[in-house]
Structure formats: C-alpha cells, structure tokens
Amino acid sequence: MSALDAADLVDGLYRRAILSPGEIDDAALAEWMEEALEAVGHDRVQGRALRAAVRVARKLSTYYSVPRATLPDWRNGVDEVLGARGWEPQLDLVRHEFAAAPGPDLFEAVKERHRAVHFTEWMEGIAFETWKASRNR
C-alpha cells in the first residue's frame, strides 16, 4: 500500500466521522490507525500525519454528534469545522512519499491536496514529465 491508499483511508475516516459520528470511538480509531500504519509501512513521518488525522476525526465526530443541517457533501463538513487545516494530514502523507519516490500519481495527488490546504495551485500547468525533466538537468 502507499501514501495514496493512506490518504484515501483518511478521507474514509473523515467521512465516517461526519456521517456516522457515533461509530468513532477509541476502539474504532485504534483499529483504523493500525490499518493505516500498515498502509504506510510504519514510517515515522507518515505516522505523525496519521495521528493528526485521528485528532481531526475526533473533532469532527464530536462536532457532528449533535444533529446538524444536511451537508451537500461530507467534505464540506471538514471545511466547516476545521477549514484547510483539516486537509493537512493527507497532503503530508502524499508529499512525504512524493519526496522519496516521485511518480505521476503522487505528483497529481500533491497538486490536488496542496490546493485544498493552501488555496493556491502547485505546479500549475506543469506535467510530471516536465517537472521530472527539469530536476534531471
């Protein structure tokens, strides 16, 4: 598994924390953390990002444990509670793996996650091949 898989796991955790906050308890988070750590191979930096995601999920589940108006999309719930800060763990996951082993999928994931956290484009209009060629000069 990869950081992309781990970022997807974080998205799933957040979704569950917002849509089914009663399912988020210490046991569920411990089980999730074990699965997520396996996805990133117990990497220390990645583990820090996953622990941050658990803290975010706790905040989300606490907030949404009180009935709220229906959201158009669960992602709006992250934005409502934490704003861009809520998306930092996923960016950290993909950025760390991209630094170690750059690839086109990770490049696109960093671009997408960077935009969600910083509200600006990263490498706008640049393809992975162009980026890679510029680094090999």
Q: State the CB neighbour count (10 A cutoff) for residue 108.
A: 16
- Average pLDDT of span 104-121: 94
The residues, any chain, with a CB within 8 Å of residue 48's CB and separated by 6 or more, are 92
Instruction: Enter the pTM of the model.
Output: 0.90
Give tens-digit pLDDT for 29-61. Answer: 999 999 888 878 878 889 999 999 999 999 999
> 86 with 10: CB under 8 angstroms?
no
Q: Assess whether pLDDT exceeds 90 at residue 28.
A: yes
Give tens-digit pLDDT for 72-84. Answer: 999 999 999 999 9
pLDDT at 43: 84
